[in-house]
A and B are shown apart, each in its own frame.
Chain A
Amino acid sequence: MAENKEILLRCSKIVKEFSGNRVLDQVDFDIRKGEVHSLCGENGAGKSTLIKIISGIYPKDDGVIYINGNPVDIHSRQDSTANGIAVVYQELSVMTTLTVAENIMAGKELTKFGFLQKKQMNRRVQDLIDKYDLGLKATQRVAELSTAGRQVVEILKALITDASLIIMDEPTASLSYKESEALFKIIRSLRDNGVSILYISHRLDEVYMLSDRITVLRDGKLVGVFDKEAEGGIKPDEVIQAMVGKSLSTERQKELTPGSGKVVLDVRHLSHRGYFNDISLQVHEGEILGIGGLVGAGRTELLRSIFGVDPVTAGEVTYLDQPISRSIRQNIKSGIGFISEDRRSEGFVPQLSVEQNAEMINFGAVSSFGVLSKAKERARAKKMIEEVNLHPADPKYKVANFSGGNQQKIVVGKWLIHNCKLLLIDEPTVGVDVGAKSEIYKIIEDMAANGAAVIIRQ
């Protein structure tokens, strides 16, 4: 099946700038009919922007998009849907109190004189489900479906628009291994039926397995297109090199010797039923332990369960030779810190100032008998601003107005001045520019060098 497949979508010299910052620089990109094409690149490489341009959310500043050889104007979501493009987002937007069919046909209901033709709609949806062997019932209530099932509903929403290109953004982020396998089967089935899939994922093993071609972006430019059909197939090293720009062995700032200090955290056979099972690990003083793995959802849940946000159904955790507390407040007091991956909804209070956010985790340090002390607040904020090199260095500035990188520095900073003995970090550099990213890594390394134990999920 190695014939020259026709090109479905072609982007030519796409340019996009945000306040003087060139996010996409003359990007050429094309997708063939009936292929699975992955788009790879680090955070900030421009993948997300390119997708948003193709799906009509952002207008492009320059360049042309061709569909089936004809130049098209895509200015809105409707335009892109009209051109056969559909997107399945990472955040599921399903209406849980409705049935599968109702969700899919919402906005496109079949009616006769204003009355719904429920039977026909259910039939239409069920036919589509059966065509791709998706295993759902059109009359099920979405509330009863698992995350994987809901994602299938999202895919169905794309399919019902007769899409010729389905863009999937990190679809396996919250799926288990088996559910991911089921998804891959669906993707292959779609491809065999002539639908093109644009697959975006950080999970390179999935990408290698699924893709017919891989396009790599770096710093807004196209750096490589890898084809399975080419000589030697797709070489993972080359892909990574293209993404990162240098070989994998990056320079390290400090030599950290793992496993030398005292055991700070000892996790034994920890389980949270349904999310992770029988996890055991140890972290020592001054050590940075990275956790990775295919079953992505489990890693965040592990950190949250250790910290006390989520429950634990089996196993034990010992912190500094004592059983860990289930109370978040207590854990913070005893020196455990937690940085969530979603800083905007869980990291800070946007309308409050830097100073006020800085004291969130330990009011005791800036108050006496419940009354805040301006002097102490100011001192604490000043210290934090200096240590993380916050820009602009104004303690009264509202956190909402900082850039993403600086916001994350505030989030990390407040733990930094808390002198944690254990830091649980979940994806600290999502959506952070390159400069701030390296600064944040340095901060984390410094904390470890000062004796903290760090668990980091990247």
Chain B
Amino acid sequence: MQKKIYKFAKVFIIVAMLIWMAVTSFGSFYTVSNLSSILMSAALLGIMACGMMFPLLVSGPDLSVSGAMAVGGMVAVKYITSHGGTTSSFVTGLLLALLAGALIGAVMGAAIHYFNLPSFIVTLAMQYVLYGAAQIGLKSKVVCSSPELFCKLGNGRLFGFPIPVYVFLVFVVLTVFLMHKTVFGRKSFMFGGNRKASVLCGIKGAPVAILVFAYSGMAAALAGVIMAAMNQQASATAGTGYDTNVLLACVLGGGSMGEGIGSAGGAVYGAIFVALLNNCLRIASVPSLYQEMIVGVLIIAAMAFENYFKAKASGMHWSRRKKKVEDTRDFA
């Protein structure tokens, strides 16, 4: 069936990219440092993609992730540096950053749910607010090189793999668990899939809507802290360019805008794909704005494919120009 071919194609493309790289630039691609770089990038993207998949199920993508990254990094670093750079300050700083991200997300979720606002615009607007806040809070770059644990978070290794990868793995497990194995996750799918039916079955929409955005905000803040750890500084422009990449990752992972379709595994796949792609492009000396352009094209292509399969499933022609006759079950 076509769906199987699509799934196969997804894996195939990654394999193809790996092979292509082996053939054309073996020396620069298959080095420890480059592979680590891919892994770290995938880790950051992956955390945010897992986070973004949740609100994507319920109402739409959280486009404020770049801003939340910056704010997360800012909160953590500012706290650590103003409290002596000790291990305990690191832990508290990290927790504060996560809390900040969650709160921001919760506020967005509440506004979107209670006021019936479109999530795209609200999250986009929030991005501006967060950028502004980060710029105010970080008038100058705040450098932070202690404590040890903090630096380790960004640059340390365990069994040869960068620490962020482990954080990512833990987060993936958490996301898979929440999304597919808890009542909350199931409610997210239901509420996104059919709001009216969910309400009639007693599912309360507000906690779902608020929590999904809180999760996404928290994920972005976590990514921000890791990035600050990697660079050993917090900057307001830390997250630029990530929002479209994370969106692409989610779209490739099968996420559809607010219709209860998506999966944590898909987010992981998407993150790996995007990280790999960006790296390949960089090795091929394709400059960053060009990369952005390719990301844009891919988003459109991916969505077009998704729509094609959705239309096929419901018996309509993909361009909607010709509609197949409605099924006999349709009429009364």
Direct contact of A and B (CB under 8 A): yes
State the A residues within 8 Å of B (CB): 18-19, 21, 23, 43-44, 48-49, 52, 58-59, 309, 328-329, 331-333, 338, 340, 345-352, 356, 359-361, 363, 367, 370-372, 400, 403-404, 430-431
Q: What are the residues of chain B within 8 A of A18 when measuring CB–CB?
A: 327-328
Asked whether, in the complex, the Cβ of A328 is within 8 Å of the Cβ of B199, the reply is yes
From known contacts A356-B186, A356-B189, A404-B329, infer whether A338 and B194 are also in contact, taking CB-CB under 8 Å: no
The 19 sampled A-B contact pairs (Cβ below 8 Å) are A21-B328, A44-B332, A48-B331, A58-B325, A58-B326, A345-B196, A345-B197, A346-B196, A346-B197, A347-B197, A348-B197, A349-B190, A350-B193, A351-B261, A356-B186, A370-B182, A370-B183, A370-B184, A431-B332
Q: What are the residues of chain A within 8 A of B203 when measuring CB–CB?
A: 329, 360
Report A319 CB to chain B, min CB distance, Å.
15
Bound-state Cα–Cα, A59 to B182, Å:
48
Q: What are the residues of chain B within 8 A of A59 when measuring CB–CB?
A: 325
Bound-state Cα–Cα, A371 to B182, Å:
4
Asked whether, in the complex, the Cβ of A372 is within 8 Å of the Cβ of B197, the reply is no
Asked whether, in the complex, the Cβ of B260 is within 8 Å of the Cβ of A309, the reply is no
Q: What are the residues of chain A within 8 A of B204 when measuring CB–CB?
A: 329
A-contacting residues, B144-161, CB 8 Å: none
From known contacts A329-B204, A352-B260, A372-B182, infer whether A360 and B198 are also in contact, taking CB-CB under 8 Å: yes
Q: What are the residues of chain A within 8 A of B313 when measuring CB–CB?
A: 400
Report B322 CB to chain A, min CB distance, Å.
12
Report B24 CB to chain A, min CB distance, Å.
41
B181 interface hit (Cβ, 8 Å): yes
Q: Which of B183, B199, B259, B328 contacts A23 (CB 8 A)?
A: B328
Report B199 CB to chain A, min CB distance, Å.
7
Q: Which of A338, A351, A371 contacts B200 (CB 8 A)?
A: A338
Which of B194, B204, B260 counts the most A-chain CB atoms under 10 A from its CB?
B194
> Which residue from chain B places its CB closest to the CB of A429 in the assembled complex?
B332
Bound-state Cα–Cα, A23 to B325, Å:
14
From known contacts A348-B197, A360-B203, infer whether A367 and B190 are also in contact, taking CB-CB under 8 Å: no
Asked whether, in the complex, the Cβ of A48 is within 8 Å of the Cβ of B332, the reply is yes
Bound-state Cα–Cα, A346 to B201, Å:
9
Bound-state Cα–Cα, A332 to B200, Å:
9
Bound-state Cα–Cα, A375 to B185, Å:
18
Q: What are the residues of chain A within 8 A of B183 when measuring CB–CB?
A: 363, 367, 370-372
> Which residue from chain A places its CB closest to the CB of B185 in the assembled complex?
A372
Q: What are the residues of chain B within 8 A of A351 when measuring CB–CB?
A: 193, 259-261
Which of B204, B325, B332 counts the most A-chain CB atoms under 10 A from its CB?
B332
> Which residue from chain B places its CB closest to the CB of A18 in the assembled complex?
B328
> Which residue from chain A places its CB closest to the CB of B323 in the assembled complex?
A57
Q: Which of B181, B184, B194, B327 contacts A348 (CB 8 A)?
A: B194
Q: What are the residues of chain B within 8 A of A348 when measuring CB–CB?
A: 194, 197
Q: What are the residues of chain B within 8 A of A332 when measuring CB–CB?
A: 201-202
Q: Which of A21, A360, A372 contacts B201 (CB 8 A)?
A: A360
> Which residue from chain B places its CB closest to the CB of A333 in the assembled complex?
B202
Q: What are the residues of chain B within 8 A of A43 when measuring CB–CB?
A: 332
Known: A333-B202, A363-B183, A372-B182. 7 other contacts (CB 8 A): A52-B331, A58-B326, A329-B203, A351-B193, A351-B259, A352-B193, A400-B314
Q: Which of A49, A360, A371, A372 contacts B331 (CB 8 A)?
A: A49
> Which residue from chain A places its CB closest to the CB of B184 in the assembled complex?
A370
Which of A44, A340, A345, A351 counts the most B-chain CB atoms under 10 A from its CB?
A351
Report B108 CB to chain A, min CB distance, Å.
24
Asked whether, in the complex, the Cβ of B181 is within 8 Å of the Cβ of A372, the reply is yes
Q: What are the residues of chain B within 8 A of A19 when measuring CB–CB?
A: 328
Bound-state Cα–Cα, A457 to B330, Å:
21
1/0 per residue, CB under 8 A from A, across B195-221: the answer is 011111111100000000000000000
> Which residue from chain B places its CB closest to the CB of A374 in the assembled complex?
B181
Q: Which of A58, A329, A340, A367 contacts B202 (CB 8 A)?
A: A329
> Which residue from chain A places its CB closest to the CB of B331 in the assembled complex?
A48
Report B206 CB to chain A, min CB distance, Å.
12
Q: What are the residues of chain A within 8 A of B329 when measuring CB–CB?
A: 403-404, 431
Bound-state Cα–Cα, A300 to B261, Å:
31
Asked whether, in the complex, the Cβ of B201 is within 8 Å of the Cβ of A361, the reply is yes
Report A248 CB to chain B, min CB distance, Å.
22
Report A316 CB to chain B, min CB distance, Å.
22
Q: What are the residues of chain B within 8 A of A359 when measuring CB–CB?
A: 186
For the complex of A and B, 8 pairs with smallest distance between CB atoms? A18-B328, A329-B202, A349-B193, A404-B329, A48-B331, A332-B202, A363-B183, A360-B201
Bound-state Cα–Cα, A59 to B332, Å:
18
Q: What are the residues of chain A within 8 A of B198 when measuring CB–CB?
A: 349, 360
1/0 per residue, CB under 8 A from A, across B159-192: the answer is 0000000000000000000000111101101100
From known contacts A21-B328, A48-B332, infer whether A349 and B197 are also in contact, taking CB-CB under 8 Å: yes
Report B102 CB to chain A, min CB distance, Å.
18
Report A402 CB to chain B, min CB distance, Å.
9
Q: What are the residues of chain B within 8 A of A309 when measuring CB–CB?
A: 199-200
> Which residue from chain B places its CB closest to the CB of A356 in the assembled complex?
B186
Q: What are the residues of chain B within 8 A of A370 when measuring CB–CB?
A: 182-184
From known contacts A349-B189, A352-B260, A372-B183, infer whether A431 and B201 are also in contact, taking CB-CB under 8 Å: no
Bound-state Cα–Cα, A404 to B193, Å:
19
> Which residue from chain B places its CB closest to the CB of A349 in the assembled complex?
B193
Asked whether, in the complex, the Cβ of A346 is within 8 Å of the Cβ of B200, the reply is yes
Which of B190, B329, B331 counts the most A-chain CB atoms under 10 A from its CB?
B331
Bound-state Cα–Cα, A58 to B327, Å:
11
> Which residue from chain A places its CB closest to the CB of B191 in the assembled complex?
A349
Q: What are the residues of chain B within 8 A of A44 when measuring CB–CB?
A: 332
From known contacts A372-B186, A430-B332, A431-B330, infer whether A340 and B200 are also in contact, taking CB-CB under 8 Å: yes
Asked whether, in the complex, the Cβ of A352 is within 8 Å of the Cβ of B202, the reply is no
Asked whether, in the complex, the Cβ of A371 is within 8 Å of the Cβ of B181, the reply is yes
Bound-state Cα–Cα, A360 to B28, Å:
52
Asked whether, in the complex, the Cβ of B186 is within 8 Å of the Cβ of A363, the reply is yes
Bound-state Cα–Cα, A430 to B329, Å:
10
Report A258 CB to chain B, min CB distance, Å.
28
Q: What are the residues of chain B within 8 A of A23 when measuring CB–CB?
A: 328
Bound-state Cα–Cα, A17 to B63, Å:
49
Q: What are the residues of chain B within 8 A of A48 when measuring CB–CB?
A: 331-332
Q: What are the residues of chain B within 8 A of A49 when measuring CB–CB?
A: 331
Bound-state Cα–Cα, A361 to B197, Å:
10
> Which residue from chain A places its CB closest to the CB of B204 in the assembled complex?
A329
Bound-state Cα–Cα, A345 to B193, Å:
10
1/0 per residue, CB under 8 A from A, across B304-332: the answer is 00000000011000000000011111111
Bound-state Cα–Cα, A338 to B190, Å:
17
Asked whether, in the complex, the Cβ of A352 is within 8 Å of the Cβ of B182, the reply is no
A-contacting residues, B243-264, CB 8 Å: 259-261
> Which residue from chain B places its CB closest to the CB of A406 in the assembled complex?
B329
Bound-state Cα–Cα, A331 to B326, Å:
37
Q: What are the residues of chain B within 8 A of A340 when measuring CB–CB?
A: 200
